[in-house]
Structure formats: structure tokens, C-alpha cells
Chains A and B, each alone.
Chain A
Amino acid sequence: MADALGASVASGLEARSEAELTRLVAEVERALGVEVDALAHDRRGLLPRRLLDSVRQLGLFGASIPAEHGGLGLELVETCRIIATVARHDRSLATCVGLHNGLGATPLVSLGDDAQKRAWLPRLASGEVLASFAATEVGAGSDLSSVATTYDGALRVRGEKQYVTNGALAGLVTVLARARDERGGYALLTVPLPQDEVSIGAEERKLGLRASSTTSLAFEDARADALLGERGGGLHHAYTALAVGRTVLSAGCVGTAERALDATLEHVTRRRQFRRAIGEFGASRTHVSAMAARLYAMEAVVDEVARHPAHGALGAASVVAKVFCSEGAYEITDRALQLHGAMGVLEDVGISLLARDCRVTRIFEGANDVLLVHLGSEVLARGPSPRCHTQRRGPHAERWETAAGVLEATRERVKASLGVRAVERQDCLQALARAYIGLVASSCVLARADAEPELAELACSIGVDESLTQLASLHRAGSRVELERALTDELYACGRRWRWPASPAPRAPRKHIAA
């Protein structure tokens, strides 16, 4: 089955069109539907070898790798569709395949020289060799500039990396390290595995994505095969690869959310309470329509971002997609869980697995809190204005224009009052970033409003409302920030364990003694 599918995948892609892609996605969907039991993989904490073999035969490990090197040569947006499909079935598998195609293969595809590409890409494309990306360390999480792993003139790598996805499966790992010389510049190096000088830690036990391999890797003067790109350019190259990785991750969130919505629609139309299907209650309709509208917007955002991965421009756009989709998947799986009642928390039903699996997407490939601060500083300093992707007029486009005007005015006001010191106000930066994200999302939705007018209307008004709420919150932010600072200083300093604060005992009412 998988062989035939692999062949049809490959031939289908020669003349790719929207219809071809739809057919390809459907075939991948059918194959995974037969083979994938995400609950079983979660319980066992690993992906069966047989399943990985099928994925190899399907060609999915070569999705993003150019056809001349044996891959499917898909565009980023097409790879995203494939990863969303995989995530609908199993998030751990999507993480394994997505990381390999995104962060794993991207540095080699975009920076490797001919010899490096010829040596590795065909093996990555066939899935004979799986790829990893190792940047994080004990002392370098959100702040990758503080990595302590080093390399010398002979490209020997020394140091320890943490939380490496595909760590126990990989045959090639791209490592972020610093030169062991006076300048200490950053570089990306490819290290082949296994080798005696690299030890692989035990599998981490996690909240979700339990079947996806996550290990530490310790390098004791391990032999790197090549230095990718420029010496000193390592951090920049890592950020560029992360932008691709985040876009692919966002597509995984779309798949997770699609699965949650499908399960919810089935449940709320079947389960009856108070003599009617629970989906008929107004509160349930609010949940379901919010889920559908958010999902519609998530798809629109990933589509737009992944279609325009112009060099450099993907940075901010991928942050928009990552924050919007990881939070969206979290919201959608949580609403699904609520509507399932007790069944939502039973492991065998599968909804709690979706919720557990998607939680980490708000943390890895850049914690959302940190990404929002970065995006906010971009919005403030460089002022990318969200573009309205449609010529359509009408009340929604008009509200969108109004909100975009408010964002512009707020940005100018913040700059005028705080100057460069605004970067120290994370509340401002995050609110500007969220306002920007809301506008980008609703603009992407407006552009495809013809297809689903009701969904687009709801999604657009949610996005614009979110932007305006965020911007309005800044009017009273100053005093709240002061309060938060004072409160947390006190909490950090006193070092006591929190206990239910004692409230003054209610006083007995004073008796009025009549004179």
C-alpha cells in the first residue's frame, strides 16, 4: 500500500496544482488513517519502527528537500499541508517529520555547498537518515546567544545540548556553537551520528508529544562534518531556520485543531442532555463557532505566511503564525475538552491527548512570551504596518482600517512618550504585538471571505476586537505595571511559601446602647 502511495505521491507532484495537492493530502490521510494509533504511541512513548518505515515509503521525510536531491521538492506551503495532515492523526509523528523537514533539513538545503548536499540530502530525503537541530542548552533556552558549546579549528565540537527533538533517532544533527578563539563567533555545524564522541541522554518524560524523541546530546570533541554558511553567522542562520520551523509547527497546530473540531462536532450532535443535543445550547454554539472561526483564521494565516517565505520577511510573519496558531490550538482543544465533559479527561477518548500534545507548542521554537516581546519591538521600531490582503469593501474592511489606524496612532504615542525606553515596557511591546497579530489574522481571513462568508465575518470581528482591546489596555497600563512590579518585588524578596492570606476576622457588629 505504502509503495503504491509513494509512487503516486511522487508522480502527483510533478504537475502540482491545488487539485493535485488536495489529492496528495487525501492519500496521505488515507494511509495514516489505517496505520496510526496515536493513543497507543502515547502510551508506549515511541513511534513504531514500522510506522516510520511507511512514512519513509510515502516520501514524507523528503517533503521539503529539492527533487534534484531525491526529495519531493514541495514548497513551504505544501509541506505545511502535509504536516497538518500528519498532525490530525498523530502530533508526535508530525513533530518528528516536521522537525526533520523544517529545522533539521533547512540549514543544509539553504546553506550547504554542493558536496555537503550531495552527501546528505538524498539520505535525508529517503528517511534513511533523520535530522535534528540542537541549539538549546541548560544555560541557553530563550536566550540562544548564551550557548556555551564550542568548536575548534578542526571542527571538533564540545558541549551539551538539551531537549533535542529526534535526538535518539537522528543520523545528522545541526549544532549551534561558538568558536573556541578570541572572537568566539557563532556557527552552525553538522555532526554525523552515531559516533563515540557523542552520547545520547535518556528520553525525557513529557506532558505531551510523548512518542516524539526528546533527549540531550553530549559532545566530547565530536567530529563535525561541515560548517554551514558563514563563520560568525550562526545565530542569524539559526533564526532563519527557526522561521521555517515555526511555520511548519504552526501547520501542525492547524492539524491538531482540525482534529479537535471534528471530534467536537460529532460529540455535541450525538450527546443529549436536558432532552436535546448539547450542541443546541447557546453556550455550546458559542464554543463551536469560536472554534471554527479561529481554525479558519489559523489556516488563512499559515497559508499566507507559508506562501510568501521571502528571505528575511519570514521572521516576523512566522512569529505571527506561531503565536496565533499555538494559542489557537490550545484554545480549541480546551473548548473541545470542555464540551466533552468527563469524556474530555478520559485518556482513551483522545481529546485530552490533543490538549496535552499541543501545550508545548506555546513553548518550543521560541516561548510565545518572548516572541511577543520581540515582535512588539519590531512593530515599535520598524513599524511594519499590517497589510489588508483584499480590495473588498464593506463593514469589516472598514473596521479593520479603523483598527489599523488605532495601532498606528498608539505606536506613535508610545514612541513619543517613552522613546527608546519603551523597549523596557514588555506590557507595551506585547500589547502592540498582539494588536498586530489580530490585524494580520483578520486581514488574511478577509482575503478569503468569498469562500466562507459567515466564518470569515466572525473570525474577522474576533481579530479586530482583540486588536482594539489590546490597544485600549495600554491607556491604563502605567499604573498597573507599577503595581505589578511592587507586588512581585515583595513576593520574590520575602521567600515565604504562599498560604491562603489571613483576612481580618469579621468584627462583631457594635451594639448601640440606647441612651
Chain B
Amino acid sequence: MKNETAEERRTLVRETIAELLEVDVATVRGDCLLREDLGMDSLTSLELLSTLSRELQVDLEMEEAMEIVTVDDTVRFVERHLAV
């Protein structure tokens, strides 16, 4: 998974969010606010990180979940963890 391109990872994050919320992936744009636009709460954000940590086989810190505000933030967050 670590070998995937940035674009593929971005798609994976968007698809994971769409699947979690049961919405059309087209509505999950990069600038979407997770809470205000997509209605995610802190528990759903943690569930998102949990799914991503499984899919991408990386350890993600749950304390950091609260700092993620947009879809793009989530992608950057995953990138940061893959880099280490």
C-alpha cells in the first residue's frame, strides 16, 4: 500500500469516507468540511482513521483525529504517517 501514488491514496481516502457515510463519492470533495458539510462527529472521524489504518497498514494516533477538518487534511495526515 505504501507504494501507491499520492493520487491513488487521495482516491482511497475519498472512497473510504463515501463508504463510511453511505454517500456518493462525487460529493466528497477535497475542500469538504468533515463536520459541517459531511456531518461527521468525533466518533465517525475515529472510525475513518481506523479504516484507513487497516487499509494502508499504518498506525494512526487517535489524539490527532480531532485536528482533521477537511477531506484534504485527512489525505495530508495519511501522507505524513506514511512518510515516517
Contacts and interface: CB of A to CB of B under 8 A. Distances in A.
Contacts of B22: 146
Interface residues of B, number: 28
Nearest to B53: A420
A420 B36 contact: no
B41 A381 contact: no
A144 B53 CA distance: 26
B37 A235 contact: no
B50 A421 contact: yes
A184 B27 contact: yes
A246 to B, nearest CB: 16
B60 A419 contact: yes
Query: What is the interface of chain A mostly: helix, strand, loop, or mixed?
Result: helix
B49 A186 contact: no
A232 B50 contact: no
Contacts of A415: 62
B43 A423 contact: yes
Contacts of A183: 32, 37
Nearest to A373: B43
B61 A420 contact: yes
A358 interface: no
B42 interface: yes
A374 interface: yes
B7 interface: no
Contacts of B27: 184
B69 to A, nearest CB: 12
Interface in A173-220: 183-186
A424 B43 CA distance: 10
B65 interface: yes
A233 B36 CA distance: 6
Nearest to B44: A145
A380 interface: yes
Contact of B62 (A232, A235, A239, A380): A380
Given A381-B62, A420-B53, A420-B60, A232 B46 contact: no
Among B21, B36, B37, B38, the most chain A Cβ lie within 10 Å of the Cβ of B36
B63 interface: yes
Contacts of A382: 63, 66
Contacts of A377: 42-43, 46
Given A380-B62, A421-B53, A423-B62, A235 B39 contact: yes
B43 A146 contact: no
Interface in B21-76: 21-22, 27, 32-33, 35-44, 46-47, 49-50, 53-54, 59-63, 65-66
Nearest to A421: B50
Contacts, number: 74
Contacts of A145: 21, 38-41, 44
A477 to B, nearest CB: 17
Nearest to B65: A381
A283 B76 CA distance: 61
A378 interface: yes
Interface string B5-32: 0000000000000000110000100001
A84 to B, nearest CB: 30
Interface in A383-438: 415, 419-424
A424 B39 contact: no
A323 to B, nearest CB: 16
A227 to B, nearest CB: 14
Contact of A424 (B50, B60, B63): B50
A236 interface: yes
Contacts of B32: 183
Nearest to B32: A183
Contacts of A423: 43, 46-47, 49-50, 62
B39 A381 contact: no
Nearest to A383: B63
A381 B21 contact: no
A424 B44 CA distance: 11
A374 B47 CA distance: 11
B35 A235 contact: yes
A374 B49 CA distance: 16
A232 B60 contact: no
B46 A185 contact: no
13 contacts: A144-B39, A145-B44, A185-B33, A185-B36, A232-B36, A233-B36, A235-B36, A235-B39, A377-B43, A381-B65, A381-B66, A382-B66, A420-B59
Interface of B: 21-22, 27, 32-33, 35-44, 46-47, 49-50, 53-54, 59-63, 65-66
Interface of A: 144-146, 183-186, 232-233, 235-236, 239, 373-374, 377-378, 380-382, 415, 419-424
Which 5 residue pairs spanning A and B have beta carbons closest together? A145-B39, A232-B36, A423-B46, A420-B62, A381-B62
Given A145-B21, A145-B40, A183-B32, 4 more contacts: A374-B43, A378-B42, A382-B66, A423-B62
